[in-house]
Amino acid sequence: MNEFQATAVIVALFALRCIVPIALMFAIGYGMKRLVRHWENEETTRSRESIPLVVVAGAPTQPASAKIPCWVLNNCDEQTRRACPAFASPSLACWVVRLRAEGQTPAKCAGCSLYTGSPSFAAGD
């Protein structure tokens, strides 16, 4: 092997050892930046979407049972009332409090007059 070939082998090995990993690092960094931009654009698109609300003219009419607390309507005993999040927040509708506390509305609310007769429920909330 002559001197030129030896130099070429050393330069090639240097490139393989140093330049290729650096180029690979920049390529991965560029790809990650593009992925983060994509996720951020996706998030801002989701946050801009809004749920259309139906505006009803006049005062909303609530059923007579809405003035009765749900624990009275369902004949809950004292122990059940203390465990229920709706009993702790009587100013809000019982199904709203349960939805916030548990993450879902209980199945028994579907047939309840407090739930079906609510103006918020009728408006699509």
Q: What is the pLDDT of residues 71-89, one digit of tens each?
A: 788 888 888 888 888 888 8
Structure tokens at 50: 């809004």
78 and 35 inside one domain: no
Q: How far apart are CA 93 and CA 72, in angstroms?
A: 13
Query: Coil, strand, or helix at residue 30?
Result: helix
1 and 29 inside one domain: yes
Q: How far apart are CA 74 and CA 112, in angstroms?
A: 10
Is the pLDDT score of 8 beyond 90? yes
pLDDT at 100: 85
Q: Evaluate whether residue 70 is within a structural domain.
A: yes
27-35 own/partner pairs: CB under 8 Å, 24+ apart: none
Q: Evaluate whether residue 58 is within a structural domain.
A: no
74 and 105 inside one domain: yes
Q: How far apart are CA 114 and CA 10, in angstroms?
A: 82
What domain range includes position 68?
A: 64-123
Lowest mean pLDDT among 2-6, 11-15, 39-43, 51-55: 51-55
Q: Evaluate whether residue 32 is within a structural domain.
A: yes
Nearest-5° Cα angle at 117, 95 to 62: 105
pLDDT at 118: 67
Number of domains comprising the chain: 2
Nearest-5° Cα angle at 61, 58 to 62: 150
Specify the pTM: 0.40
Q: Evaluate whether residue 36 is within a structural domain.
A: yes
Q: Evaluate whether residue 71 is within a structural domain.
A: yes
Structure tokens at 1: 């092997």
68 and 45 inside one domain: no
Is the pLDDT score of 105 beyond 70? yes
Q: Evaluate whether residue 85 is within a structural domain.
A: yes
Q: How far apart are CA 26 and CA 24, in angstroms?
A: 5
91 and 116 inside one domain: yes
Q: Which residue has the higher pLDDT, 61 or 122?
A: 61
Q: What is the mean predicted confidence (pLDDT) over 88-99?
A: 81
Lowest mean pLDDT among 27-31, 34-38, 87-91: 87-91
Q: What is the mean predicted confidence (pLDDT) over 31-45?
A: 91
Q: Evaluate whether residue 57 is within a structural domain.
A: no
pLDDT at 12: 93
117 and 74 inside one domain: yes
